[in-house]
Structure 1
Amino acid sequence: MLALALPSIAHADDGFYPIVADDGTTIANHRVDTSIEAELDKLPSVITVGNPRGSVTVREFYDVNCPYCRKASADIDALLKSNRELRLVLVPFPVLGIPSIQATRVELAVARLASPQTFYKFHRQLDQQRGTIDGNRALAVAKKLGLDPRRVTEVADGDDLADIMKAHLKMGDDLAIQATPGFVIQGVAVVGYPGKAAMTKLIAAVDACGAVICPEK
């Protein structure tokens, strides 16, 4: 399994919104170029779930070994089930070491071999694991979902997957995603998980007025 060097951190836009997390703190965020945001959907091996034509798109950069990503995953799954207008774009973002890179290779293989629905089941089952997830543990989950482990391993070991991971890391760098999870919502990068209530509020605002915070009337 090939290790990747982490990208250098890009400078964020000084513009930000007063987004308050569930614990009362202000969550880090900054504006992003909407043209770059649109390019996210063109990245290789990103997976779109939820309503493909939904009025609100949440793009999530996550690492399989990020505990905050695991917490966010359960909450976002609940939001997908309760909000038929929500579209989620998942961007594997292996920044937490060799085990994450190994597991992400398996993720990318599953994304190539399975339907988005099966990938999402795989994603959710990974997020319900405890401890460090490496390639072997990710492969075990893929096998549990009925995928051929030999075929998954063959794809996961492909040299082309290194380029895909590098593309994801470069995009995160371009967007100044400095922590996981990182979300891009309507021209705003939210760095870190604000909590279910705060995320629900952001999504509702985008649906209502096309911005993460609606202007006061």
Structure 2
Amino acid sequence: MISRREVLLAVGATLSPVTVRARQAPSLSEVLFDPALPVLGNAQGDVTIAEFFDYACPYCKVLHPHLKQILEEDGGIRLVMKDWPINGDLVSYASRMVLAADRLGHYAAAHAAVMELTAPLSHGRIDNAMRDRGVDVAEVRDALDVHLEAIDALLLRNQSQARALSLPGTPAFVIGTSLHRGALEPDQIREAVAHARKRG
């Protein structure tokens, strides 16, 4: 019997000329079910999508409203957001602040606020966008002080997994047991979800 780990590795090997060696690759559970990951959609959904993303990634921003629509259409999707801040210190700041907001129960609002920014990121724009969504930035900063070590450990795990899976950048997805090393159109995401359900 092929394990879920082997399925992920086999799919990864077919999608890239760079073969991921088993001893380096994370398990499917590590990618999809890290308990520190924020979850959107149905936490008990039958199909999990993990998106490796960056708050300054233009493709991630374009896809954001489509992902929201897909979650609304399909109540069975569990979406986990895997911050991979590869575009500089401001993205790292955004990731830390939004993940700290998650500790206060405000992840969805904070994530949408920063993802929907159209102007270039700055500390002030990130903070103001969160405030405009009703998130208390002072409380978020306090939470960040308390949880910084755990948040940075999560960011490091995401980065290590992205490198082990030979991801070239953001966005990238794991949908069910399938690895997609690049941007997808909304209909491709729907098709991948349907395929994941067929595979069970």
TM-score normalised according to structure 1 size: 0.74
Structure 1: unaligned runs, 5 residues or longer? 1-11, 18-27, 211-217
* Cα-to-partner distance string for 1:121-163 (whole Å, 9 max, x where unaligned): 3222322211322333222222223332222123335641333
The one-letter amino acid of 2:115's match is D
Shift in Å at residue 179 of structure 1? 1.1
Residue 140 of structure 1 corresponds to 128
Residue 52 of structure 1 corresponds to 43
* Cα-to-partner distance string for 1:74-98 (whole Å, 9 max, x where unaligned): 1111100001111111111111111
Higher helix share: 2
Name which of structure 1's ranges 144-153 and 47-56 shifts more when overlaid on structure 2: 144-153
* Cα-to-partner distance string for 1:14-68 (whole Å, 9 max, x where unaligned): 3239xxxxxxxxxx99889796121124436311121222221111111011010
Identity of aligned residues (%): 22
Structure 2 CA distance for partners of 1:170 and 1:123, relative to 1, 3 Å: same
Are the equivalent residues in 2 in contact too, given 1:32–1:188 (CA < 8 A)? no
The one-letter amino acid of 2:108's match is Y
The one-letter amino acid of 1:37's match is L
Residue 178 of structure 2 corresponds to 188
Residue 62 of structure 1 corresponds to 53
Map 1:150-169 → 2, pairs under 5 A = 150-157=138-145, 159-160=148-149, 161-169=151-159
Indicate the RMSD between aligned Cα atoms, in angstroms: 2.8
Structure 2: unaligned runs, 5 residues or longer? 1-10
CA distance in 1, matches of 2:15, 2:133: 41
2:160 alignment partner, SS class: helix
CA distance in 2, matches of 1:13, 1:49: 25
Aligned residues: 186
Structure 2 CA distance for partners of 1:32 and 1:185, relative to 1, 3 Å: farther
Residue 64 of structure 2 corresponds to 73
* Cα-to-partner distance string for 1:175-210 (whole Å, 9 max, x where unaligned): 222210110122222122121111111111212334
1:14 alignment partner, SS class: helix
Residue 84 of structure 1 corresponds to 75
